[in-house]
Structure 1
Amino acid sequence: MPALRQARLSVGAGEVHALIGQNGAGKSTLIKILTGAHGRDAGSIRWGGQEVRFRAPIEAQEAGISTIYQELNLIPHRSLAENIFVGREPRRFGLIDWRRIERESAAILSGLGIQADVTRPLHTCNTATQQMTAIARAVSTRARLVIMDEPTSSLDEGEVQTLFGVIRRLQADGVSVIFVSHRLDELYAVCDRITVMRDGRTVAEREMAGFDKYQLVSTMLGKELSALQAARRDPRLPPGPPVLRLDGVRSGPRVRDASLALGRGEIVGLAGLLGSGRTELARAVFGAEPVDQGRMDLQGEAVRWREPADAIARGLAYLSEDRKTEGIVPDLSIRENLTLVLLPQLARLGVVDRQRQREVAERFIERLGIVCAGPEQPIRELSGGNQQKVLLARWLAARTDLLLLDEPTRGIDVGAKAEILGLIRELAQKEGLSVLMIASELEELVGASDRAVVLRDGHTVAELQGDALTEENLMSAMAHGAMPTTAAAEGARDG
C-alpha cells in the first residue's frame, strides 16, 4: 500500500499552517517529499509559483525551505554559534570569521527574543535554548518556509509560550510555518489554517477558526459525527480488589498529572490522542521511565521502580506498540522468543535447559492457539497476530499479574484483532489478569474495556464506564477534556 495517496498541502505566505494526523497518516512522508528526502511517484510541488523537484534536502534548503525535526539534528559539543552556521561558516582571508559568526548568531537569537551566550556548548543548554538554536539556524538561511515537527514535545509551558512568540515574529516577517503537533490547544493558539491527513490522504483543509475541536478529532479518527453510535459494552464481571493505583503521577514532559485505578481481573482502556502521554504513562508504570512526582501503589503498597526488572519481579509486564523493534527478536525461534523472560529460571550454571524451554513453548502454543510449524520456527515467519500471541505467552509464562498493552492490535488483520482481544478478555475473566490497554481504535476500547481513562496533554481528564463508555464520549473527552452533557452532545451531532 502506498504511503501517500491523493495528498494535498497548500501554505500561503506568512501563514502558520497546522499539519496533523494519527501515526501512519502520511505526515512525515509528505514532509520528506517536500524537502527532497524522498522522491515522489506522482503529483507536483509548486514553490514560489514554480514547479520544483528537490533531489536532496540541501536543494530545498537553498530554495528557502528549512525543517526542524523533533529529534534535533544539532551537534551537542559545539557552541550555539557553531550550530547556527555549521556548513555555512563565513570566512575572512580564507579563515573562518569566528567574530562575525558569534556576532550574527547573537543578533539572530536576540531577534527571536532569546538572550544567550552563543559561545556556550549546546549540550549545556536547556531544551528550549536548543530548540531556539535550531530555529535560529533556519532563520539564518533566510528560509521562507520553516517546517516544525513536534517542536513543543520536550518544552514546558513557559518555553512553549516563548516558541509561540518566535513563530509570531517569523510570521510578521513574512515567513511561513508548517506546524506539526498533536496538542490541539497549541494548534488553535498559533495556527491560521489546518490540513488533516488520514491513511495517506488529505481528508480536510480548513480555517482553524470555526473548526470545532470535536469535529477535528472525529476527522482525524475517521468517525463521522452522524455515524457515531452509543455502543454498549458487554456485561462484565465486577472488578476485584485494587491492584494498581496512580495518584497525580508526573513523568518527564509528557505525563503531567495522571491518576487511575485498576482492579483484579479488570481491563481499563487508556485513551487519548497521539502525544497525550499514554505510552509514557505505561512506561512509567513499568519502570522504563522515572516517576518524578505523585504516588503509585501496587497491591496497596507504595512502590517506586529503579528499572523494569523491579516491576517484572512484582508481576508486571509490558508489550510495546513497536512489536518488531521492542518485542520480537526476529532471527530467534518461537521457543527462544517465548521463554526470554524465563531464562534465569530455565538455566542451571549458565546453561539453558532446552528441553524445559521447549515444553513451556509447546504448552503456550497450544493454550493460545499460535498457528505455526512448531516451536523451532523463526518468529519472523509468523503473521503479526501470531507474533503478538507469542509476546503475550512470554509474559503469561512468567506468571504476570498486571499486563500493560500498548496498541496490542496494531498491524494485525481484522480477524486476528478479534482473536487477540477475545484472548485478553478470557485471561482477565478466568485468570484474574489485570490489564491496562492503550488503543487508538475507539471501537476496540469500547468493546474490550470495563472502564476507560482519558488522557489529554498528560492530564487525566475523564473516566468512563457503563453506558457512558461510548465512542462519542471518548472523542469529546479527547477533544475538550470532559464528557459532553446530553444537550452538548446533541448539539455536536446536529452541528
Structure 2
Amino acid sequence: MIREVLRLEGIFANAHNVPTLYNAWLNLQKNEIVGLFGLNNSGRTTLIQILCGNILPTAGRIYRNEKPVVLLSPVHAKQMGIVRINSFNSLFLDFDLTNNIFLMPENPKRFLVNEQVHAMQSQAILNFLGLRIPSKTKVRDLNLVEQFIVLLARAIAEHAEIIVIEDILFTFTEDQLTTIHNVLKIICKEGISILLSEYRAKTLMHLCDRIFVVREGTIASICSSDQFDEKKLTSIMIGQKIKEPLYRSGKILRNQGSPLLEWQNVCYGKMLKSFSMAIHKSQIVGLLCNNKHMLEGILAVLKIPHPTQGQILFRQRPLLRSAIYRDIFLIPENDIIYENLSMNENITLLAQKEFSLPFGIIPHSKIQMLYNELVLPHFMEELSEMRKHSIKAFSRKMRLELSLCRALMLGPSILVLINPTKLMDSLSVTQILRKIVHLKERAGISILLISNNIYDQLHICDTILFTGEKKVLTQFDMNRHSSDDVLTYYRAYMGR
C-alpha cells in the first residue's frame, strides 16, 4: 500500500540567475498535514511553485505516489491531483456556493451543465465538511471560515489528492483555527493529504503533524508535533536566537565593513554644505533636522542624487538615480494613498510599474511572489486588520503600514522615513517603532529616520545625528553614549 504520496529530492532552483533552492527536499504521507515554515527569500515560495507546476527546478526529482514525475504546468499538477489554495479572491461573492464549487463543466466539450446534479454534489460535499448551509447561498453571506471551507470544497470537487494551502490562514483567530483543524482532519480521513505553507509558527503548530523549516534555500529542520515550540521554530527559521524586546536595548555591536550609503562633503545649492553621514547595513540612523530648507535639500538630493559638490556612495559606488525606489525608498510624511484603489492595488502599484514587461504586460505571478516573500512575513496581522476597513477609514498608522508594504514590494536596502509617527496616538507610535526595528532585525533593512521627535530616535536608533548650519553638527553613537547625553545636547540644541 502506498503511504508516501509526494516526495521532492535534491531540488535546486534559480531566480534571475540567483540560487533560491539548494538541495531542498520535502515529503508528504497519505492522510497527513505537513507545514512548510520559512522567512522571506528563504525559498519556501519557490518550493511551492515547483510543486504546483508554476516553475521547473534546475535539478532534482519529484515523486508522486512513489513514481517519478515532471510537473510541467499548474494544469498538469492539477491533473496529478495537486490543488493549490492561496487566495480568497478566487471566490465570486455574488455567485452561490454551487457555482463557486463547480466553476467549469466537467466536460468542456459540452455546452449544457446539469445544474441540478452540481447542486446535489456541492451540497453533499458541504455537508461532509460540516458546513450545513444551502448550496444556493451566496458566498457574500458567509463568514471567513465558511468561505475557506468553500475553497476546500472546490478542491475536493476537483478531485484533489494533495491540497496545498499557502499564506491564507494567518487571518484566522485561534478558535477559528480549531474549527479549520477539525475540517482538515475530516478531509484527511478520506485519504487526502494537506501541505500548509505559512509564515506564522503558531498557525502551523495548531494544525500540523510535522513542520519543515526552510532557511536559505534548503530544509534546516523537521519537527514533529511533540517537538513544536514557537521560539525554537522561529530561531531555526532565522538562524539565530530571537532578540527580545524589539526596542533597542543594551549595547549594540559596532557595524563592521564599509557603509551601505555614505554622503561625503555633499553641497547642494544654498541648502547643504559639507554634509557628511554614513548608514551601515541593518542600522537605524536618526537625523534630527529643524531647518525646513535644509530638509528640502536632503530630500532633493535623495530623489535626484546630483549634488553640486561632494559625492554620495551606495555600496562604495556613486549612487545612481536608478537605485532610488528599488534600493533606497523614501516614504514622505504624508505619503499618497489612492482611495479609489483597493488595499492590494495600493501595495502593488509601484511594483507593477517597476517590473512590467514590454507593451505594459504585468507579470502577475512575480507580483504575487514578491507580495508573499517580501510583505506577508512582516505585516500579516496588520494586513488582516486593514482588510476590515475601507481605505478612507484607515488610521494614520494603517496608512503608514500600507506605505511600508508598498516599499517592501521593491525589496529596498534602505528605507527613508519622514516623521513617521507624527499625530499618532501613543499606542500606534509604540507599534510603529517596534515595526521599524522588526524590519531592521528580521528583514535586514537599514533605516534613515528623519524626525523632529527626539524620543522616537532614542527608543530605536543606533546613531543619532543633529544637523544645523547646512551640515551634520554632532553624531551620537548609542553604543557609547547614554540617553541623558543626547537629551542634554538636545536641550542646548533646541535653545540655540
> For residue 143 of structure 2, what is the aligned residue in structure 1?
126
Offset of 1:308 from its aligned partner? 5.0
Counterpart in the other structure of 1:170: 187
Sequence identity (%): 22
Instruction: Please show how residues 209-358 of structure 1 align to structure 2 within 5 Å.
Output: 209-223=226-240, 232-233=250-251, 280-281=381-382, 306-307=393-394, 320-323=404-407, 325=409
- One of 122, 126, 129 as aligned partner of 1:109: 126
Shift of 1:78: 2.0
Q: 1:400 to 1:202 in 2, by over 3 A?
A: same
Displacement after TM superposition at 1:72 (Å): 4.2
Distance 1:317 1:58 in 2: 36
Distance across 1 between alignment mates of 2:55 and 2:458? 38
Alpha-carbon deviations, 1:284-321, whole Å to 9, x = none?
7xxx67799xxxxxxxxxxxx94457999xxx898504
| Separation of aligned partners in 2, 1:156 and 1:147 | 20
State the shift of 1:16 in Å.
Answer: 0.8
- 1:76 counterpart residue number: 93
* TM-score with structure 2 setting the length: 0.53
| Counterpart position of 2:36 | 19
**Residue aligning to 2:115:** 98
User: Hey, what does 2:26 align to over in structure 1?
Assistant: 9
- What amino acid maps onto 1:323 in structure 2? A
Structure 1: 5+ residue stretches without partners: 236-273, 293-304, 328-383, 438-444, 450-495
Cα pair distance change 1:53/1:96, threshold 3 Å: same
Note the C-alpha offset of 1:325: 4.8
Matches for 1:417-436 after TM superposition, within 5 Å = 420=446, 424=449, 432=454, 434=456
* Equivalent position SS for 1:2: strand
Equivalent residue of 2:90, what SS? Answer: coil
- Provide the rounded CA distance (Å) in 1 between the counterparts of 2:461 and 2:65: 47
Q: Distance in 2 between matches of 1:115 and 1:75?
A: 20
* Aligned partner letter, 1:169: I
8 Å contact from structure 2 (residues 35, 198) kept in 1: yes
1:51 aligns with 2:68: yes
**How many pairs were matched up?**
315
Q: Which amino acid aligns with 1:203?
A: A
Between the aligned partners of 1:200 and 1:43, the Cα distance in structure 2 is 14
AA aligned to 1:177 is: I
The answer as to whether partners of 2:171 and 2:381 remain within 8 angstroms in 1 is no
Q: CA deviation at 1:130?
A: 1.4
CA distance in 2, matches of 1:201, 1:311: 35
Which residue of 2 is the match for residue 148 of structure 1? 165
Query: Could you tell me how far apart the structure 1 residues matched to 2:159 and 2:458 are?
Result: 48
Residue matched to 1:62: 79
Cα distance, 1:88 vs structure 2:
3.5
**CA offset at residue 222 of structure 1?**
0.4
SS in 1 for 2:105: coil
Over 3 Å counting, the alpha-carbon distance change for 1:222 and 1:84 in structure 2 is same
Residues in 2 aligned to 1:45 and 1:410: alpha-carbon distance in whole angstroms: 35
Give, in angstroms, the shift of residue 31 of structure 1. Answer: 0.8
Distance 1:448 1:148, change over 3 A: farther
Q: Which residue of 2 aligns with 1:341?
A: none
Q: Given the superposition, is the C-alpha separation of residues 109 and 207 from structure 1 closer, same or farther in structure 2, using an over 3 Å criterion? A: same
Query: What secondary structure sits across from 2:146 in the alignment?
Result: helix
Shift, 1:185, TM fit: 3.7
Letter in 1 for 2:26: L
1:202 corresponding residue in structure 2: 219
Q: Describe the superposition over 1:450-487 as per-residue Cα deviations: whole angstroms up to 9, x where unpaired.
A: xxxxxxxxxxxxxxxxxxxxxxxxxxxxxxxxxxxxxx
Change (3 A) 1:306 1:95: closer
Tell me: CA distance 1:89–1:159, structure 2 relative to 1, closer, same or farther (3 Å): farther
Counterpart for residue 278 of structure 2: none
- CA distance, structure 1, for counterparts of residue 81 and residue 213 of structure 2: 24
Contact 1:36 / 1:56 at 8 angstroms: preserved in 2? yes
Is contact 1:72-1:131 (8 Å) kept?
A: no
Change (3 A) 1:290 1:148: closer
Q: Deviation string for 1:73-129 (max 9, x for gaps)?
A: 222222211111112347999621000000000000100111112112222322222
- SS of 1:96's equivalent in the other structure is coil
Q: Secondary structure at the match of 2:206?
A: helix
